[in-house]
Structure 1
C-alpha cells in the first residue's frame, strides 16, 4: 500500500442520495449549458446541510450554539484513529475499554451499518452518552461515525449531541468506512464556510500513517 495515498470516505452527492425524512433532498442540475452561454456549463444545487457526509454545528441542536463558520477548522484536520465496533449493537464504556485510545484526538467509529447512500437506515448502532466522559479523558476532540447521526434515528432529546457539545467534541457523520481497516490515519474533513449554517457537507479523506 502507498501510505501517501489519500482515501475518500465521503458519500457521493447524487440526486438519488437518501436524506433525513421530511428534510430537503439533494438536487443538482445544469442551469445553463455551454451551448447556451457560448463558453461554460453552470450548475446549481439545492440541499439540506445535513446531506451525505457532513458535520454538525452546535446551532443544529442549540439555538445559542456556534454556527459552522465559527467552528475551529483545526479540529477537522489531523491525526485520527479508526476502530471497528461492528460486532455490537450498543457502544458503551465497556466497548471502548477494548481499545487503546490514549492520545487519540479524532476517533472514527466503524459500526455494522454498511454504506448504502441511496437508502436511509431505519435503525443504527446506539451510542450511550456515558462514552463522552471517556472520550474527554482520552483527549478526543472529534467523533466521527459511519451513520447519519450520533443519536438514534427517532431521538428528540439528542443526548449524545448535547453531551459531545458540552465537552467540546466536534461531530462528523455519514462516513464511508466499509473497506477501511482499523488503524491510524491523517484526516481532512473541512466544512464549507457557511455563515449561518447549522452544519455542512464535507469531503472527508484519510491517509494511512502506519
Structure 2
C-alpha cells in the first residue's frame, strides 16, 4: 500500500536563516576532481526544523539519542490557533478547538477520558511559518504561555511541535525550561502546517542518532 505524507520540514540549504546570535549555517560542496560528490556542513543544531532535547536546558537531562523513537512517532493532535495570534503568548482560549468550551471543561479533557482528549504529541498550528525568511519571523513570533505549558504538562504530553522559531518569546527561555524539565521534547520551525486539515495524524519527528542537545529532523505526517 502506498501512503501519502505531508512533509513539515524546511529545506536545509546554504546561508539559510538562523536564530539571532546563532552561527551561520553553511552547506558547502567540497567535491574535488573525482567521480563522486562530497558536501560538508557547519552551523548550529537549532537551524531549520529541529528538535530540542531536555539536555538543552536541563543538567543531566536526556540528549537526543536518549529519546525513544516510540515518543517521537505516533498519533498527534493538531491544535489550530486563532489567526490573530502574533507577537504574543498563546493561551488555551486561543485554540480554535476550544473556543466554545469553558476553561474547566478543557482542563478535564484528559487523554484516556475523552475521545476529544489530547494525544501524546501536539502539533501547534499558528501558520507563522508563512513569515519564514522575513525579519519579523524571529522577532514577533507567537509563543506558548505559562498557562498553556501547564496544560500540556498536566495532560502528560510527550512532545510539542510548533511552526514558529521558538516556544518562547525572543530572548527568553522559561517555557523551554518548564517543558524540558518535564521531559517534553520540543520541535521548532515546522513548515506548511496549513496543509493539516484534520485534528489528528500519524506523525513522525525523526532526528539523527546524535549525542547532543538538539538535532536537525525530518518532520512529516501520514496524510
Please indicate the TM-score interval, normalised by the length of the shorter structure.
0.7 to 0.9
Q: Judge conservation of contact 1:3–1:207 (CA < 8 Å) in 2.
A: no
Alignment of 1:6-17 (within 5 A): 6-17=5-16
Deviation, 1:41, is 0.8
1:42 aligned residue: 38
Gaps of 5+ in 2: 100-105, 110-115
Cα RMSD of the aligned pairs, angstroms, is 2.3
Q: TM-score, normalised by structure 2?
A: 0.81
- Pick which of 137-146 and 116-125 moved more: 116-125
Gaps of 5+ in 1: none
2:152 aligned residue: 135
Instruction: Answer yes or no: is 1:85 the counterpart of 2:100.
Output: no
Instruction: Answer yes or no: is 1:115 the counterpart of 2:130.
Output: yes
Q: Judge conservation of contact 1:11–1:117 (CA < 8 Å) in 2.
A: no
- Pick which of 104-113 and 135-144 moved more: 135-144
Deviation, 1:149, is 0.7
Write out per-residue CA displacement over residues 114-153 of structure 1, whole angstroms, 9 at most, x where no aligned residue: 3344335211113112223322343421111001110011
Deviation, 1:168, is 2.4
Q: TM-score, normalised by structure 1?
A: 0.85
1:206 aligned residue: 221
> In structure 2, the residue corresponding to 1:189 is in which secondary structure?
strand
Deviation, 1:13, is 0.7
Q: Judge conservation of contact 2:54–2:181 (CA < 8 Å) in 1.
A: no
Write out per-residue CA displacement over residues 78-102 of structure 1, whole angstroms, 9 at most, x where no aligned residue: 1112221043433223335447751
Deviation, 1:3, is 9.2
Q: Which structure has greater helix proportion?
A: 2
1:95 aligned residue: 94
